[in-house]
Every structure is written in structure tokens, then in C-alpha cells.
């Protein structure tokens, strides 16, 4: 496969192109968006929602109404299709260019055309481009046909289901910026299908016509439907542009490969899976290679962004993705953890563009490995449960679809495997019933959130109806007795839960805190006479029913039994992080100003994360000031108290409430009983909060801020650690610094001076290399370019020269010199992997074209290139072959 442009090169070209059109290049934002409408970032535009709505377009202090990004996005609404089809991905890279009230349709569509078709950029054949537009968007039609010159029969018109973004937004929402769009398709040719563009109007599905780029014109703010059900689209303060090109898709087109999995990013991962499993990538089993390769990319990225495996929210989704990959690895015969060994390949292909992958590689590998080990154990549990079910059935019987689904959903047990094992007992599986149960579960998941069809796990709402509110006693007691009110499996109430099985347990009274207000749910143990189980997570319904995810380890759990719940020791670490979060919030407001407003938070046992509105990165001084303030509270050892009171009273007392949060009449107020001083003013902390806290600020212990990052325009994210986690982190850093100092034969204190010295040495050495290369070029050129071969070709005097060991800058420099000294009209200079062609003004005037010439030479040399009439360059694999084609190129 000759890869004309690698995925990384396409990404870079895109960003460079839009930089050349005045855009500010920003790094990708996190996959964890602070936007509460989705679990993950699902589109390149999402971090800029507020700019589309009129907020100032200022990014880290730089004002620019044009921005370009490559954004990592996670779309998991169709996760079951990933691997089955060749073009579904859960992780996708969206190349985007955005205008906040600056340019509009004309520029967006002509630049898209230029980037796709110009030989300097992607150089795609324009006659293979097709587009769709919103039904009555005459402006887009005119630009496509009259300005870009696209034939009218390359254009189809669709309604809001296809040509509005988000799809169907006028009727269905979600609320926020939206607008009509124009999608660009590429015709991959008859080898991918014999359908026509006209047929696409009906089929809307094609392997041949691949959608590559969506240009959206957000000009409306979708609001709730009017009372009579008509859509309300309010004009935004100005018209915007939001475009998104799927990098995986455009790479498939540019590299002319059949599917995503054959492009330069996926192919090595797929090959490695085949090697590890000994199963070639072919036939029906190839689904499994694809699932593993694709899912591992998503999991690695999400873990690198700080999400950890858990049973709720994002952590639950990433667990589901990993488990799906893991069971496909199992289907390929892998019985030991193997996926973690593929992480380095993901880092290799994407680590340059997303440095967080490199930074957290070791952590990601360890987390994947741990989860694989746990999952393989669960699979064994599933095999036992299935064995139990099958041995109680007659030969020739049918295993119900619901049973097969429970095996899949609870144990991650692949239905193919269920069928295989059932066959050994002479039993078949009700596949239609299984598909129906799966579909129901997906419906619930899809209903969870509409924005970009991301999903939440819906749970078993019906089975929970009518259950009483749970009495929560866990602010004070970490151990308490309660009665089992209900046991809930997938979609049904259960009378009892045998050892080895997992379900949701509802108690009358509980010490387990349910996930909420950013604080994670508690874990721990349940004990009862004759049995025990693990509580893996705790959530609650809006009605206040606490849901404990329980795995029964011994004995059997039944409704009505009295159990003792014991919260894990992690809770103390969670409390430290929660009180530390309040202090951090108060300190940030004191140091950065009252513009700081909380946008989101995570309070876990191993860390805290706090998102807040603030335009600029924190300076080292600001971080130090915030840390110092928190440490002062800690050492003052003030009491922390909480109290319920009417909301009006809490607000009158000055308690901080979260903007946009809905509070009841009675609220809980958490107060730190003492203030510290900053810039001569007292700073105190009192917040409306339902979370668990330490008794005294001294319980927090050490506190350290790990850093801050940008997670959406104008929103910063700080991560920090408290207690043992903080001390361990600092110790690890000190040890690392000591190791580096050892490698450089100095002490930690001497590091800065030593590195400064090395940098100076390196700079001097680089200068020498440049000088040597220049000499090398000159020596090879001979005086006055005498070493060049000069010929008359097509009426031009053409000088050609091969320079061993040189590339890039040196080649361009040599070409300049040769053109100067040799008196030739055109010069061609080849290095090891590169080619430069230059032409004099006069030659250009007589019809010479460096860009066209280099295109022919590069093709002969196994590469691709282009450029202007007077100057062009190319990358080639065989420079001699490129030079050899010179005679026939005229
Ligand atoms: N927001 C649009 C999409 O996701 C274009 O970027 O398709």
C-alpha cells in the first residue's frame, strides 16, 4: 500500500490550511466535556457552544473569531454496530473550522472546496465530489454551482433529518445552537458499489458515496417548543460556521483503502491482534479484530483523559466498551489479558497529536490490564451460570432470549458463545428474543440524551416503581443495618440472588452515599446471616431510592433479610477530597476574582477535579496562592459543620449555590467554621451541598494542585489531591526528579543549571550540523552547480542534481543556489526522500510549471507533491526513480 498521505499528515495539512486562512489553532479539548447535555464530547463544536451564543471569542488571552481544531470525540449511540460495519467508530477525530460571527457560507464552502481539490492540499478529483444541502438553501446551491463550479446534478436536497445539525433539531432539540448544513460526499468509484448518486436520494446508505465533511451554518438558538407544538428557533446574535470532517473517513478516501480498518492507523493494530491470537484478519471472525482495535483506541483516550472504570456515568460506559472488546478477544481465543499490550500501538499512532496519551501510557496500560483480569473472572462466572441453566433443561429445548441477554448484560457474555455452549447440550437460543431484549435496552440508552445521540444507562425504571425512599444515615455512620426492600435484575424484580450473581439491591436504610453533586457513589460490603457481598457502586433515583450494585459472594440474598452495610475506607479519602473541593472553590474566587463559577466537579477517593469559568491559564503564582490558602485552612483545623435550613435563610447567610442547579425548599449547608486571610480580606467557605465531608479541616492533610487545563472555551479544569494521595504524588515526583538528576550526574538542586548547559550544547551542535550540511551540499554541487546534469527538455534548460544525505531546508537552499548559478530555466534537486523543483520567472512566463512537473516526478518516485508554478516540493520513497522520469515528463 502506498500511503500518499498518512492520517497524521492529513490532520496537519487541515490545521495548516485553516491557519493560512486566519484561524487560531487550538489543541483538542478533553473527551470529558463540562457540558452537562452529554457524557462525552461528541462534536468539535461542543467546547464552543457559548461562543456560538455570543460569548467573546477569546482563547487563553488570544482574541480570534476563527478557530480550527482536531477534536477527539466519542459517539457511543451505535456502539453495537462498531466492528460489524466497516465505517462505524466510537472514537473519532473531527477536523473542524469555526467562525463566531465572522465569515459565513461563502468562505466556508469555497475553502472546503479549495482544501479538498487543490493539489497543494488534498488534490482530490473534483468530479468525484457530491453534496447535499438543506431543502431550500438557495445560497448554498448557488455557491456550490456558481462559485465552486460543481454540476447541479451532484447536489441533492434533504429535510431537517439529514441537512440540519443536530439532526431534526427544530422539532426534537436539543436546545442550543443549530442550523442547516451541507454535507460533502466523495465517490469512491464502482469498485465499492454500482449505485448512483441519484439513487442515494432514496437509499441514504452507500459504501461508494462516503460522507466526509459536514458544513453547518449555526444561526439559530433552538428553544422549547411553543405551546402549540411548533418549533421555536430564535436567531443567534450572529451567524456562525461549524464544520466537521471525520479524519478516519477522509484518510480512507485519500489512501483509497476499503475501510477504516485498512488505513495507516488501524492496520498495524489489527495485524497485531491477528498475531497475538493466531487468528487471521479474515472472514466472519474479522468482526472481533475490528471491535478490539477500535474500542481500544476509545478506551485508551478516555482513560488518558482521567476517566476511570466504574459502574456509573462515563466510567460505566468505558467499562462497557472495554468489556465488549474483551469478549471479542475471548472469541478470538485469547484467555489471558491481551488488550493492554496493544496500548503502545495506539500511543504510537496518536500520541503526537494527543500528548496526554503519551503522558498517561503506563497508567492506561495498568488500568486496562486490571479491568481485563476482572472481566475474565466475570466471564467464568457467566460460564458457570450458563452451565447451571443448561443442565436443568431437556435436549432440544430453547434458552430464552431474556436469559441470553442477562448473560450478556450482567456477565458481558457474548451471545455467540452462549449459542456455542448451548449447542453442546443440544439446546438452541431464542435469537429473536435476544435481539428484542437488546433493542429494548438500547432504546432506553438512546433516550438518555439526545445531543449527538450519546447515551446514559437507563436502568430498570419500571421495576423500581413504588419503592419507598431510602433512609440515608451515612453522613455520620459508616456502618448501619437495613432491610432488603427489593432485588432488581435486568428489567425484573428478583426474589433471591444466588452467590456469584450481581444485581441492584434496595435497602430500607443505608450508610452508602449515592453518587451525586460530583461525589462518587460509595463502595463497601453487605453482610447478613449466612452470606456476604460486595457493594460496587451506589446511585439513587430522583425519588430518593438508593440503588446498590451488589455482587453476592457467599450465601444467598433474599428480600426481607436484614443486612449490615459497611462503607469502604475509601469514604474517608472521598470526604477529604470533598471538603478540599469547597476550600479550593473559595480560594479560587479569592485569588482569581468572583468571576469564578463552578461548572462541574468530580470528588473521588483518588483525586478531585474542579471545572470553573475563567478565561486564562493559571500562573504559577496563582496556583501557589490557592494552594497556600487551602493549606492555611487545613492547619487551622477549623470544625466543618452541616445543617439543614430553608433555602432563603441559606442564601441570606451568604451560602454559595450553583448557578443553574435546582434546589428544594430545604437545603443542606456545609460550613467551614473559620476564615483565612487573603490580601487583607477574610475568606470563608459555606456552600449548599449534599455531600460527605471531614469533621475538621485538619483531617484533609496534605493538599496539592496537579495542574490546570482548558476543557471548553472559557472553562478551566483543576485537578488536585488531598491526604495520602497528595503525599504519595509528591513523593513520586521527588523520586522521579532524583532519578533524572542521577542520569545527568547532578543533584535535584543542580538540575536547572545542568539542563540549561545541555540545551546550549545542543544548540551549538545543531548549528554545526547546519553548517556541515551546507558544506556537504556545496561540495556535491561543485562550483557554480557544475555537478548538475543539464539538458534541454521541452524548450527549457533543465538542471538536475542528486544530493546524498540532505533534505528539507538544505534542498530548498541548494535549489535556490543552483537556479542562481547554473543559468538553467528549471532546476530539480533530489535528496533522500524529498524533491524540490524551481523555475525562473521567465520560464514560468513561457509556460513552465514546477507544481505540475513535480506531480509527475513524484508519482514515478512513489510519492505525491504539488506547488506553485515557480516552486514546488514533494516527498518520495525513491528519489532516483523520480529523477529518472525527468526526460519523459516534458
Ligand atoms: N457539528 C457538526 C457535526 O458534528 C459539524 O462539525 O457533524
Q: Locate 703 and state its grid cell.
A: 493538599
CB 165 near ligand 1, within 6 Å = yes
Half-sphere exposure (Cβ direction) of 521: Cα atoms closer than 13 Å: 23
Through-space distance between the first and last CA atoms of the chain, rounded to whole angstroms: 28
pLDDT at 787 over 80: no
CB 836 near ligand 1, within 6 Å = no
CA 752 from centre of chain: 35
Confidence band of 660 (pLDDT split at 50, 70, 90): low
| Average pLDDT over every residue of 106-113 | 97
Q: Locate 545 and state its grid cell.
A: 431510592
The angle formed by the CA atoms of residues 606, 609 and 615, to the nearest 5 degrees, is 160
CB 183 near ligand 1, within 6 Å = no
Instruction: Provide φ and ψ at 737, rounded to 5°.
Output: -60, -40
Q: Which of 211, 205, 210, 212 is nearest to 189 (CA)?
A: 210
pLDDT at 808 over 90: no
Helix H or strand E encompassing 815? helix 808-822
Work out whether strand 428-429 and strand 398-399 pair parallel, antiparallel, or are unpaired: parallel
| Average pLDDT over every residue of 74-90 | 83
Q: Whose CA is nearest to atom 4 of ligand 1?
A: 43
CB 243 near ligand 1, within 6 Å = yes
Q: Which of 132, 155, 287, 158 is nearest to 212 (CA)?
A: 132
pLDDT at 444 over 60: no
Q: Which of 523, 504, 505, 521 is nearest to 513 (CA)?
A: 521
Atom number of ligand 1 nearest to Cα 73: 4
Q: What pTM did the predictor assign?
A: 0.66
Distance 245 CA to ligand 1 centre (A): 8
Predicted confidence at residue 785, as pLDDT, reads: 66
By most ligand atoms within 8 Å of CB, the mutation choice from 35, 45, 100, 241 for ligand 1 is 45
pLDDT at 325 over 50: yes
Atom number of ligand 1 nearest to Cα 94: 6
Percentage of residues of the chain with pLDDT beyond 70: 95
312 versus 12: the higher-pLDDT residue is 12
Confidence band of 455 (pLDDT split at 50, 70, 90): very low
Number of Cβ within 10 Å of residue 189's Cβ equals: 11
Confidence band of 493 (pLDDT split at 50, 70, 90): confident
Residues forming a β-bridge with 509: 471
Identify the CATH number of the domain defined by range 7-261. Answer: 3.30.930.10
d(C-alpha 305, C-alpha 297), whole Å: 12
Distance 70 CA to ligand 1 centre (A): 12
Number of Cβ within 10 Å of residue 22's Cβ equals: 14
| Average pLDDT over every residue of 603-615 | 93
Distance 45 CA to ligand 1 centre (A): 7
789, 799 Cβ separation under 8 angstroms: yes
Q: Locate 540 and state its grid cell.
A: 439513587
d(C-alpha 635, C-alpha 535), whole Å: 35
pLDDT at 458 over 70: no
200, 209 Cβ separation under 8 angstroms: yes
Work out whether strand 826-830 and strand 789-793 pair parallel, antiparallel, or are unpaired: unpaired
Domains of the chain, residue spans? 7-261, 265-380, 392-455, 460-568, 572-731, 782-889
Predicted confidence at residue 2, as pLDDT, reads: 43
| Average pLDDT over every residue of 172-201 | 93
pLDDT at 446 over 50: no
Atom number of ligand 1 nearest to Cα 46: 1
Which residues, 6 or more positions from 129, have their beta carbon under 8 angstroms from its beta carbon?
113, 116, 117, 150, 154, 184, 185, 186, 187
Domain 572-731 class in CATH: alpha beta
Please state, rounded to an integer, the average pLDDT across all residues of the chain: 90
Confidence band of 4 (pLDDT split at 50, 70, 90): confident
Which residues, 6 or more positions from 877, have their beta carbon under 8 angstroms from its beta carbon?
2, 833, 861, 862, 863
Query: Under CATH, what is the fold of the domain 460-568?
Result: Elongation Factor Tu (Ef-tu); domain 3 (2.40.30)
| Average pLDDT over every residue of 625-631 | 97
Predicted confidence at residue 445, as pLDDT, reads: 45
d(C-alpha 691, C-alpha 642), whole Å: 10
Residues forming a β-bridge with 671: 641, 686
Q: Whose CA is nearest to atom 6 of ligand 1?
A: 244
Predicted confidence at residue 262, as pLDDT, reads: 87
640, 586 Cβ separation under 8 angstroms: no
Atom number of ligand 1 nearest to Cα 45: 1
291, 325 Cβ separation under 8 angstroms: yes
244, 213 Cβ separation under 8 angstroms: yes
Residue whose grid cell is 493494530: 269
Would you say how long the chain is, in residues? Answer: 890
Q: Locate 128 and state its grid cell.
A: 468525484
Residue whose grid cell is 447535499: 132
Residue whose grid cell is 430453547: 398
d(C-alpha 194, C-alpha 192), whole Å: 7
Q: Locate 298 and state its grid cell.
A: 476509545
The angle formed by the CA atoms of residues 114, 119 and 124, to the nearest 5 degrees, is 70
pLDDT at 418 over 70: yes
SS3 per residue for 594-637: CCCCEEEEEECCCCEEEEEECCCCCCHHHHHHHHHHHHHHHHHC
pLDDT at 471 over 90: yes
pLDDT at 403 over 80: yes
Predicted confidence at residue 682, as pLDDT, reads: 95
Q: Whose CA is nearest to atom 3 of ligand 1?
A: 244
CB 251 near ligand 1, within 6 Å = no
Identify the CATH number of the domain defined by range 782-889. Answer: 3.10.310.40
456 versus 831: the higher-pLDDT residue is 831
The angle formed by the CA atoms of residues 201, 205 and 206, to the nearest 5 degrees, is 105
Predicted confidence at residue 462, as pLDDT, reads: 66
> 243-285, pLDDT tens digit by residue?
999 999 999 999 988 888 888 899 999 999 999 999 999 988 8
> 555-597, pLDDT tens digit by residue?
999 999 999 999 999 999 999 999 999 999 999 999 999 889 8
| Average pLDDT over every residue of 789-798 | 90
700, 694 Cβ separation under 8 angstroms: yes
Confidence band of 457 (pLDDT split at 50, 70, 90): very low
By most ligand atoms within 8 Å of CB, the mutation choice from 46, 93, 244 for ligand 1 is 244
CB 214 near ligand 1, within 6 Å = yes
Work out whether strand 398-399 and strand 531-540 pair parallel, antiparallel, or are unpaired: unpaired
Same CATH topology for 7-261 and 460-568? no
| Average pLDDT over every residue of 724-745 | 96
Confidence band of 491 (pLDDT split at 50, 70, 90): low
Q: Which of 691, 467, 464, 670 is nearest to 575 (CA)?
A: 691
Distance 48 CA to ligand 1 centre (A): 12
Q: Locate 828 and state its grid cell.
A: 530539480
> 855-873, pLDDT tens digit by residue?
899 989 888 777 888 999 8
Distance 270 CA to ligand 1 centre (A): 28
114, 164 Cβ separation under 8 angstroms: no
Predicted confidence at residue 661, as pLDDT, reads: 67
pLDDT at 132 over 70: yes
Predicted confidence at residue 1, as pLDDT, reads: 38
Atom number of ligand 1 nearest to Cα 244: 6
- Helix 570-592 and helix 620-636, axial crossing angle in degrees, nearest 10: 130
Q: Which of 266, 276, 490 is nearest to 372 (CA)?
A: 276
pLDDT at 448 over 50: no
Amino acid at each position: 500500500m502506498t500511503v500518499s498521505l498518512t492520517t497524521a499528515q492529513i490532520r496537519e495539512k487541515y490545521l495548516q490550511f485553516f491557519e493560512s486562512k486566519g484561524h487560531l489553532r487550538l489543541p483538542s479539548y478533553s473527551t470529558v466535556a463540562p457540558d452537562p447535555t452529554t457524557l462525552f464530547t461528541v462534536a468539535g463544536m461542543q467546547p464552543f457552544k457559548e461562543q456560538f451564543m455570543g460569548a467573546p471569542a477569546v482563547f487563553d488571552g488570544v482574541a480570534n473569531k476563527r478557530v480550527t481544531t482536531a477534536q477527539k470525540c466519542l459517539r457511543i449511540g451505535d456502539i453495537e454496530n462498531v466492528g460489524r460495519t466497516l465505517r462505524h467508530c466510537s472514537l473519532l477525530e473531527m477536523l473542524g473550522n469555526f467562525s463566531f460571527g465572522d465569515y459565513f457560507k461563502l468562505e466556508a464552502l469555497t475553502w472546503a472546496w479549495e482544501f479538498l481539490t487543490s493539489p497543494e492540499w488534498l488534490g482530490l478529483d473534483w468530479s468525484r465530489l457530491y453534496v447535499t444541502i438543506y431543502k431550500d438553501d438557495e445560497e448554498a446551491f448557488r455557491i456550490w454551482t456558481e462559485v465552486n463550479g460543481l454540476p447541479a446534478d451532484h447536489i441533492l436536497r434533504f429535510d431537517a433529518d439529514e441537512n440540519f445539525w443536530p439532526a431534526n433539531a427544530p422539532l426534537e432539540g436539543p436546545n442550543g445552537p443549530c442550523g442547516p448544513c451541507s454535507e460533502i460526499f466523495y465517490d469512491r468509484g464502482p469498485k465499492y458499489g454500482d449505485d448512483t448518486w441519484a439513487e442515494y436520494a432514496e437509499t441514504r446508505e452507500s459504501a461508494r458515496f462516503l460522507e466526509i465533511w459536514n458544513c453547518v451554518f449555526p444561526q439559530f438558538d433552538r428553544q422549547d417548543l411553543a405551546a402549540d407544538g411548533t418549533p421555536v428557533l430564535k436567531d443567534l446574535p450572529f451567524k456562525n460556521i461549524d464544520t466537521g470532517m471525520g479524519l478516519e473517513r477522509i484518510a480512507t478516501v485519500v489512501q483509497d483503502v476499503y475501510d477504516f480498518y485498512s488505513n495507516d492507523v488501524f492496520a498495524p493494530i489489527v495485524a497485531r491482534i491477528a498475531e497475538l491470537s493466531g487468528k487471521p484478519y479474515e472472514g466472519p471472525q474479522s468482526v472481533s479484530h475490528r471491535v478490539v482495535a477500535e474500542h481500544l483506541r476509545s478506551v485508551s483516550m478516555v482513560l488518558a483523559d482521567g476517566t476511570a472504570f466504574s459502574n456509573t456515568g462515563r466510567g460505566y460506559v468505558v467499562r462497557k466498551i472495554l468489556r465488549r472488546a474483551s469478549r471479542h478477544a475471548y472469541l478470538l481465543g485469547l484467555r489471558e489479558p491481551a488488550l493492554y499490550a496493544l496500548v503502545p500501538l495506539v500511543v504510537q499512532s496518536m500520541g503526537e497529536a494527543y500528548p496526554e496519551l503519551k503522558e498517561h501510557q503506563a497508567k492506561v496500560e495498568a488500568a486496562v490490564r486490571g479491568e481485563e483480569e476482572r472481566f475474565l473472572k466475570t466471564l467464568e462466572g457467566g460460564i458457570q451460570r450458563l452451565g447451571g441453566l443448561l443442565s436443568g433443561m431437556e435436549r432440544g429445548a430453547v434458552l430464552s432470549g431474556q436469559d441470553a441477554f442477562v448473560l450478556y448484560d450482567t456477565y458481558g457474555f457474548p451471545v455467540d458463545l452462549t449459542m456455542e455452549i448451548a449447542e453442546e447440550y443440544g439446546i438452541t437460543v431464542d435469537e429473536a428474543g435476544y435481539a428484542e431484549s437488546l433493542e429494548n435496552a438500547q432504546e432506553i440508552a438512546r433516550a438518555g440524551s439526545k445531543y449527538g445521540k450519546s447515551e446514559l444507562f437507563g436502568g430498570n425504571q419500571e421495576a423500581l416503581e413504588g419503592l419507598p425512599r431510602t433512609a440515608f444515615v451515612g453522613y455520620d455512620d459508616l456502618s448501619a443495618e437495613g432491610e432488603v426492600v427489593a432485588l432488581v435484575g435486568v428489567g425484573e424484580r428478583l426474589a433471591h440472588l444466588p452467590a456469584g450473581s450481581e444485581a441492584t439491591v434496595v435497602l430500607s436504610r443505608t450508610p452508602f452515599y449515592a453518587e451525586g453533586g460530583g461525589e462518587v457513589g460509595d463502595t463497601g460490603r453487605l453482610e447478613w446471616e449466612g452470606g456476604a457481598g460486595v457493594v460496587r457502586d451506589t446511585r439513587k433515583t430522583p425519588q430518593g431510592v438508593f440503588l446498590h450494585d451488589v455482587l453476592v459472594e457467599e450465601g444467598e440474598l433474599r428480600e426481607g433479610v436484614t443486612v449490615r452495610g459497611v462503607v469502604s475506607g475509601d469514604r474517608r479519602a472521598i470526604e477529604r477530597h470533598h471538603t478540599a473541593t469547597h476550600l479550593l472553590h473559595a480560594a479560587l474566587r479569592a485569588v482569581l476574582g468572583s468571576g469564578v463559577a463552578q461548572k462541574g466537579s468530580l470528588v473521588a477517593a483518588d483525586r478531585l477535579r474542579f471545572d470553573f469559568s475563567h478565561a486564562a491559564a493559571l500562573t504559577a503564582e496563582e496556583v501557589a496562592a490557592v494552594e497556600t490558602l487551602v493549606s492555611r485552612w487545613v492547619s487551622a483545623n477549623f470544625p466543618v459543620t452541616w445543617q439543614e435550613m430553608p433555602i432563603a435563610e441559606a442564601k441570606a447567610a451568604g451560602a454559595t449555590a450553583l448557578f443553574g442547579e435546582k434546589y428544594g425548599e430545604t437545603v443542606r449547608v456545609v460550613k467551614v467554621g473559620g476564615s483565612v486571610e487573603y490580601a487583607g480580606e477574610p475568606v470563608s467557605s459555606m456552600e449548599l451541598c449534599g455531600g460527605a465531608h471531614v469533621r475538621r479541616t485538619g483531617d484533609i492533610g496534605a493538599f496539592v494542585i496537579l495542574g490546570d487545563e482548558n476543557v471548553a472555551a472559557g472553562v478551566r479544569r483543576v485537578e488536585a489531591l488531598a491526604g495520602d494521595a497528595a503525599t504519595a504524588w509528591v513523593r513520586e515526583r521527588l523520586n522521579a526528579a532524583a532519578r533524572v538528576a542521577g542520569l545527568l550526574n547532578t543533584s535535584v538542586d543542580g538540575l536547572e543549571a545542568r539542563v540549561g548547559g545541555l540545551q546550549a550544547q545542543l544548540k551549538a551542535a545543531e548549528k554545526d550540523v547546519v553548517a556541515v550540511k551546507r558544506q556537504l551540499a556545496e561540495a556535491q554541487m561543485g562550483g557554480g552547480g557544475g555537478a548538475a546534469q543539464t539538458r534541454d527538455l521541452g524548450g527549457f534548460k533543465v538542471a538536475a542534481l542528486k544530493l546524498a544525505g540532505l533534505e528539507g531546508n538544505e534542498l530548498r537552499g541548494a535549489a535556490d543556489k543552483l537556479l542562481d548559478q547554473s543559468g538553467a530555466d528549471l532546476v530539480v534537486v533530489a535528496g533522500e526522500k524529498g524533491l524540490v523543483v524551481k523555475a525562473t520567472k521567465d520560464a514560468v512566463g513561457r509556460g513552465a510549471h514546477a507544481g505540475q512537473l513535480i506531480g509527475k516526478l513524484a508519482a514515478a518516485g512513489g510519492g505525491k507533491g504539488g506547488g506553485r508554478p515557480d516552486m514546488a516540493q514533494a516527498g518520495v520513497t525513491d528519489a532516483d526513480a523520480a529523477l529518472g522520469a525527468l526526460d519523459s515528463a516534458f
